[in-house]
Structure 1
């Protein structure tokens, strides 16, 4: 059933009540809407649709689910040779939601890929189950999600919250499920088209051929920005290309093959065959056709003939890409599509689409280890901050290394410092001291009893208890490791550049728990400061210990049902080991706890 009408929950309280009665009336019936354009099924010839649409019947193609009727209608009007099998506009999604539709589409072998245009994620657990099912069935999913505002993260208690807002959590969910998120409608269409033709890629190694150095340079720049590799050709390939193209052509990847063989089908086919014969995951041919109403084609069609001949002979994923969307005429797009070569329109969108296919391919290789998320209901109660020494003791029980320290009175502080050995750090201890540096509640690098005595005297108005710790030096890098509990997404782990660099660099990545050691290591590898950890121009950090420390924090978070947020900032990444030198924990406790 489709309910096109508006005036339901999107309108006012009376509309919300009307929508509840609609849901009750629907019972077990699958209902699309209300407040939607409806459903188009180009596989079976069914349209429950109140307006014009621009699609046509297909035998196989991609399915698209969108929360916007207008965007859905616009997608049917695309001139990108994207075969749309089904299109569903959800509107309010009162009964049948995105996960229901994804699971149903996965049962149809004629659907080659699924595109989701989302304005939000309502049921994380259900979408997680659908995403795991899609990954295991090998059906790629591309996501275009709007709503990237982080206004709600500006007034939060911890650094972790400011780094892991709702849109960041959506990113983490999509990455976990192997769904490729894109940012533009054009990229969305091109990625779905590429996946329809070639499916997910097994790697990121690509080749590019064009008759222009400018085009080759553009491809190189875009490939680097998307994390795609353009490996050098093997020596045998280089030698044969030199024989084909002549001494004036520089043999490199991307290849500018110049125009010496332009219009020579045999030599172009031999040139492209050399590229297809190498160990690459995808092959690009750049070609913008002349305007059909003003110019003559000729040689451009010969280049396509040669590329198709090479692809037929050697197999492998291939695409012909125009620098401008209008650079590939309808007839060329249809011919390429029929031959199993993706007609890609726009170089930037093409490279983004290839990167999306590579990300999906990497995730599908690990699909067997994917598990759906469980999102328990958040506890209700009052917030309670755990003081730093108590937080450190709790984390140490899970294997997290913390500095040697003592909790003492002001009078005991100098003697405790002598016992620990200088230099030391002195901090005022109180649950309400969330950010000690700003409150003047910490002194670093104290080298004698007198300095310790002076420090606690200056902080006397903040607390009557003090934490004296042996100062840890020699860090390769400072990290922030945080976990916060989100009502929709559950526990989210954030890892990033820590210390004073948290707000300055905002170099962080977020994952949804649970995570494995390999996933933690992958998260570290996505940070801008990863080269510091791995040994940039010098000694690197003990990455295994850093991973184990982060895993200990994650384990503590998963087993503490009261946890709302935890910040470990900084976690010192040392040449040997990793030590947490500051901890902030916020819990939710009922009145009787």
Structure 2
């Protein structure tokens, strides 16, 4: 069924409010307070007015089908009202009532009632149930049953949240961020986060979109939204919480431990060009930066302050992060010396001292000189004194100098307070009106810069492959798994199965020494003590076999000349796609925690970039004079593993270790869970 457009619901010319409780009265009051100029129609069979607005006795009495409706009645009555609205041709409805699928454990009919609600809605857009609804501060529409902190704006960011309470809290921010929309999705019974966020792209007044996500509604729909947002130049930043079912249940391999929900969602967002943050303050700070300046071309910054302590603080905060302070060039130093005199040490971050404090022309020359270099963003650290107790006049002159430097350089500039309390909301709003980013808190500012720089990176045009069901999956033996790997082009050691120690010795002689002996039927052979390496005679093989905790064996050629060990693993994550994990391999994989995750499909360039980002990447490239590994062989191995997953019913696959040498990449061990092949 094709759903009607969300245009009428989100940008209504008429609003109906169904019900007579406090919640409904608040919707009427908030719409009036926000300056809604359209028709406002409370509906109640017995009350003459609601919230000071004349009430209509029935839906059928309304002058026309309303564009947006807040349904504030009990859960059973909600179903009947939604059905009537659908027949009437309403633009859409917000279902406030709870007691649907979210309460299935407590209420036995919750899931069934939600399905009935969706059928009643038909093709009419439905938000919720179990949600607060939305606020549109651009047009004064407040289908919202509680207080909120929004004020009318002409342009701003939009926030879509799966939690009504978090959305409510975000409306109370005092950081100067103009909020154009705040929307909640509740149970997403019919209309999910992806469709709602996608509808916001049609409003040119929306500058950026923030998402609070507990779980994605539909992977393909979310991908479509993300690609459309990027096409339209609307940056998206997400705060993802929770752990997926895949992360909770997958436990058989190292890959599952490394590629949990956070790794999968991080990889998905990076794949789609969405910035991820991990806190509400970081979400707000990133949205501020994106609202004023948009994505940054990079994460090179210059920092200026009149305190050596502040210069040290930002340098320490940024240490180990994905930002850089480019050194000053000769031209910058000459210009700075002219503005600051001979007593100031010239560096980035810069402590410009107090010699020019209060001198707007001199500060302007100083800040402009710093912006002459390659920096993508200029930061001036400034904590405004308490305006109720102090005179901030001299501090406000710094803002004038920053504005001059921003105009002169044509580059984005921010004023950063080390404490959120030292950036009054009135000052933040003034900065935004001048095109200056007001940032609060050193750590969250660095996070915002990292996020804004990430959004300028190119993204893959290949569509994400959603995992499908795997019927009757079973763990394949190592020998069977390696045979399948070999069919797809992966290099594997020569090997023979053996049912007894004596047979293992004979097989070893046929292969030639040295050999490796493994006990079969175990997922983690090393942990179980079921691997014997570098055996050089039939006697050693027999003795080792007798000592291994296994009834059967696999005898393999011993691969020599190994320079590094890697792990390649793929697990299907229904929420995020197939998650590919590349990591330092061997028995210390989980201890080293040197890994990265990508979403399939990947190409050779993606793989090379990911390997270079690992700590072990320096070993692969040749560390301290050692020979480099055969990178092309490693890339071919990863692509071979991907090929298996994309062409066969694989539930999980792991190569650990992939033995990497100067001219080879060989799968020494393999774990494969798959259906019939």
State the TM-score bracket (shorter-chain normalisation): over 0.9
In structure 2, the residue matched to 1:388 is 478
In the superposition, relative to structure 1, how do residues 68 and 357 fare at CA in structure 2: closer, same or farther (>3 Å)?
same
Contact 1:205 1:231 in 2 (8 A): yes
Which segment drifts farther, 403-412 or 187-196? Answer: 403-412
1:418-429 matches, within 5 Å, as 418-429=509-520
Q: How do residues 144-543 of structure 1 correspond to structure 2 at under 5 angstroms?
A: 144-148=239-243, 153=248, 156-362=251-457, 366-367=458-459, 369-381=460-472, 383-408=473-498, 410-429=501-520, 432-459=521-548, 462-463=551-552, 466-539=553-626, 540-543=628-631
State the secondary structure of the residue aligned to 2:527.
helix
In the alignment, structure 1 segments of 5+ residues that lack a partner are none
Match of 1:15 in 2: 110
Matches of 1:151 and 1:553, distance apart in 2: 20
Counterpart position of 2:76? none
Q: Deviations over 1:493-543 (max 9, x none)?
A: 111121111221232222221111122223223333333333332324333
Q: Taking structure 1 as the reference length, what is the TM-score of the superposition?
A: 0.93
RMSD of the alignment, in Å? 2.1
2:637 to 522, 536, 549: 549
Query: 2:382 and 2:249 mapped to 1: Cα distance?
Result: 47
Tell me: CA distance 1:313–1:16, structure 2 relative to 1, closer, same or farther (3 Å): same
Task: Name the CA distance, whole Å, in 1 between partners of 2:453 and 2:221.
Answer: 25
Q: What are structure 2's unaligned runs of at least 5 residues?
A: 1-92
In structure 1, the residue matched to 2:662 is 575
Structure 1 residues 330, 565: CA separation in 2 closer, same or farther (over 3 Å shift)? Answer: closer
Deviation at 1:7, TM superposition (A): 1.6
**What is the count of residue pairs matched by the alignment?**
580
After superposition, give the CA deviation of every residue in 1:181-232 in whole Å (9 maximum; x if it has no partner).
1111111101001100110111111111111111112211222332101110
Distance in 1, Cα, partners of 2:623 & 2:502 = 45
Aligned pairs (5 A) from 1:16-31: 16-31=111-126
Does structure 2 retain, via aligned residues, the 8 Å contact 1:479–1:572?
A: yes
- Rg bigger for which structure? 2
Alpha-carbon separation, structure 1, partners of 2:506 and 2:240 = 58
Aligned residues of 2:154 and 2:205 also touching (Cα < 8 A): yes
Find the partner of 1:124 among 212, 219, 223. 219
Indicate yes or no: 2:172 matched with 1:77: yes
Higher relative contact order (CA 8 A, sep 6+): 1
CA distance in 2, matches of 1:68, 1:494: 31
Deviation at 1:56, TM superposition (A): 1.2
Question: Does the CA contact (< 8 Å) of 2:526 and 2:587 recur in 1?
Answer: no
Query: Shift of residue 460 of structure 1?
Result: 8.8
Q: CA deviation at 1:418?
A: 4.0
**CA drift at 1:57:** 1.4
CA contact (8 A) 2:494 2:511 kept: yes
Q: Which moved further from structure 2: 204-213 or 538-547?
A: 538-547
CA distance in 2, matches of 1:471, 1:150: 39
1:88 aligns with 2:212: no
Alignment map for 1:27-106 (pairs within 5 Å): 27-106=122-201
